[in-house]
Amino acid sequence: MKPSKPVILTGVRANNDIHIGNYFGAILPIVDMAKRRSSDFDINLFIPDLHSFTTPIDHSKLYDSILNNARIYTAAGLPLDNEAIHLYRQSRVPAHSELAWILDCFTGFGEMGRMTQFKDKSHKFLDEIDSKIHLPTSRQKAQDIVHTGISVGLFNYPVLMAADILLYGATYVPVGDDQTQHLEFTRDISERMNRKFGDLFIVPKPVAQQHQFFGNDQGLRIKDLMNPAKKMSKSDDSGKGVIFLGDEPEAAHKKIMSATTDSLGKVQYDRDNQPGISNLLEVLTLVRQDAGKDVSLEQTISEYAGMERYGDFKRIVADEVAEFLANFQARLAAVDDQAIESKLESSEHDMNIVANETLHRVQTAVGLRR
C-alpha cells in the first residue's frame, strides 16, 4: 500500500554534542520544514541510533544522548502534537535491520567499496591513529584498534540508509553533499529490486530534484571560529573554534572574541578574502533570526559593512550569541520529557505498522513468505 501522502524522511542526530553549526545548519531547517510542509506531507524524523555504531562511541551515554537530542529538537520548536510529524528511534523498528540484510544480498561488494564517505572516514580514522599512537605498540594491538575503528557497519552504512528510506516509501530525503552518493545508491537498489521482483519500492527522487524541492530549506553552513576555511565540527580537538549548545554563555562569548579575522581592517562580506568576518556576519544573522527578528543576511551586511573596529564588531556578535545560548538553554530546561517519551512511543507504534507492511511485501517477493 502506498502512503496516503508523500513522505519526507530525514534523520536527526542520535549522539554527540550538538554545536551551533548543527543547530542552524540542520536542526532548525528540519524543524521549519516539518512545520511548513506537514499539511501536504507525512514527515518522518527518525533517530538513527543504529547508525551511531559505525564509528567508536561511548555506549554508556548513548541512551541519554538520544533522548537529549530529541529534547533539543523540541526546544527548537518541533511540534510534538502534530500527527503528521513522526519522531521515532530506528532501533525500535526491527524491520530496518531485516530489510537491510535482504538488500545486502542484492548489493555488490564493489558498489560499497566505491562509496567516498567510507573511504574518507577510513582514511581520517587511520590518520588520527597515526597521530595519536606515539609509543611502541604490538602489531596485534595496532590491528585491533584499526579493525574496531573501521567496521563492517561503516562499510555497509549506505545499505541500512537505503532500508531507512525504502521502508516508508519516502519520496524526498534532504541530504548533505556527503550523502548524495548514498541517496543515488538507494535509487539504484530500489530500481534493481523492482526490476527483479516487481513493484516493491517507491523510488526516491533524483538528487537534482531533491535540491530543487528543498531549496531554501537548507541552512547556512557555519564555519570554525579559529579556522573559517572549514566547517564547524565537533572533531576540533581544542574546542576553541566550536560553540556547543551546552556551552556556558560566558565561555561562548570568549570564543567569539578570540575568533580568527584578518588584517584588512574593515567589515565586509567576502568569503574568499575575509572568511572569518563573513562567518561572524552569518552567525549574527542566524541568532537574530532565532530571536524572532525579521532580518536577512543582506541586511546584517549592510548594517555593519565598513565598520573598522573588529573588536567592537566581535563584541556585538559575542553578546548576541551569549544571549541566544541563555535563551535556548532556558527553553531546553522547560521541555516536557514525558511528552517526548509519549511522542516516541506513539510514532514507533505507527512506524512499525508501515514498515512491517513493506517488509512483508519484500519477504513474499523474495520467497520468505506466501
- Active-site residues, by number, are 121, 231, 234
Q: Are 45 and 23 in contact (CB under 8 A)?
A: no
Q: Are 24 and 220 in contact (CB under 8 A)?
A: yes
CA 298 to chain centre: 27
Residue whose C-alpha cell reads 508501515 in the numeric block = 354
**Exposure b/e, 110-129, CB count within 10 A at least 16 = b:** eebeebeebeebbeebeeee
**Exposure b/e, 209-241, CB count within 10 A at least 16 = b:** ebeeebeebebeebbbbbbbeeebeeebeeebb
DSSP string, 17-86: --BHHHIIIIIHHHHHHHHHHTTTSEEEEEE-TTGGGGS---GGGHHHHHHHHHHHHHHTT--TT-TTEE
CA distances from 3 to 90, 91, 201, 205 (A): 19, 22, 11, 16
Measured distance CA(295)–CA(301) in Å, rounded: 11
Measured distance CA(102)–CA(359) in Å, rounded: 10
Largest CA distance in the chain: 75
Q: Which three cell numbers stand for residue 356?
A: 512491517
